Amino acid sequence: MLTGKTVLLTGGTGSFGNAFIKRFLDSDIKKIIIFSRDEEKQDLMRNNYRNPKLKFVLGNVRDYESVNDVMRGVDLVFHAAALKQVPSCDFAPIEATKTNVFGTDNVLKSAIYHNVEHVVCLSTGKAVYPINVMGMTKSLMEKTIINRAREIEEDESVRTVVKYIRYSNVFATRGSAINIFTKQIKEEKPVTLTHPDMRRSIMTVDEAVDLALFAMNNGENGDLFVYKARRTTLKQLAEYLFEVYNAQNRSIEIIGARHGEKMEESILSEDDLLRAIDMDSFVRVPMDKRGLNYLVRREGMKNKRNAKKEAPEMLEMRVPTLKLEDIEKMIKENWIKDCEYDQKIKVAGSV
């Protein structure tokens, strides 16, 4: 799959980049290029891995020239660079737009110019019916991807294939509720919930890598892929963590929703579900290939909404419920940053 390939990871110092490196560094991959603007994180990674297959390049996806320089000789791109903290983006909408929208287009333009084989862009469920800036810019990012994919379809000389994936909430990544709750439990403080009935889907960073690889190896240009992540409420999540860590203090403090937070997040829109194809643990949503001229009737490019039925047929998105054993396994296999092991923790398989 990646044999002899040169892979570019934009925003590669993050959770996705580290998980990808750990999985493939000892494989027969040719080279992994880490492209990011964080000098300190690159230095930490360089000293941690100390492997000649890794190349670290400082740059910013906002700068087309730096993107274009690093793209030479690249076979595959996983585009993870983004501004993704919901409250931060709400207070810096222009900065979020520069990175998430224009930065993504720079990556796509350069990849197409250099005839990169595959580009997989990382998006989020917050792009579906967005109410915050992060979700809005990611939604615009997706529209930009689709636009470039349509241009590729019209140009037979271009071999680049562009796809994108939507994450759910990734377990124990920087700033996640899991990390915050764990730290509070360890310090025997009340767990702070925005709202007990707020529902979220949770996946591990390894499942995120699986999703990106599945997208690369399946479907067609412009396709969206999602993973059927486990779903739970924040209150249930806190109670699972109380049990796993054998918490002494099991009190909960309700602090109210932050800027731009939804009570219920979707991973697919109604329009997506009209085109969605169930692929076991994954769902593929083919690109809507209709052009602007809606008067032209083309076979295979019809909108199901135009059907005479009152309710057009759409995929029923069934996702698993998060269970206690899932949390135990996630903690065992995906250790939480900044939280050391101690005798209070009852991880599955430990005493």
- Catalytic (active-site) positions: 126
| Alpha-carbon span 84 to 133, nearest angstrom | 9
Taking Cα atoms as reference points, which of 192, 186, 145, 191 lies closest to residue 165?
145
Query: For every residue of the chain, which 3-state class applies, written as one string?
Result: CCCCCEEEEECCCCHHHHHHHHHHCCCCCCEEEEEECCHHHHHHHHHHHCCCCEEEEECCCCCHHHHHHHCCCCCEEEECCCCCCHHHHHCCHHHHHHHHHHHHHHHHHHHHHCCCCEEEEEEEHHHCCCCCHHHHHHHHHHHHHHHHHHHHHHCCCCCCEEEEEEECEECCCCCCHHHHHHHHHHCCCCEEECCCCCEEEEECHHHHHHHHHHHHHCCCCCCEEEECCEEEEHHHHHHHHHHHCCCCCCCEEECCCCCCCCCECCCCCHHHHHHCEEECCEEEECCCCCCCCCCCCCCCCCCHHHCCCCCCCCCCCCCCECCHHHHHHHHHHCCCCCCCCCCCCCCCCCC
Angstrom distance (rounded) from CA 217 to CA 314? 25
Inter-CA distances, 190 with 144, 186, 236, Å: 43, 10, 15
69-104 burial, b if ≥16 CB within 10 A, otherwise e? ebbeebbbbbbbbbbbebeebbeeeeebbbbbbbbb
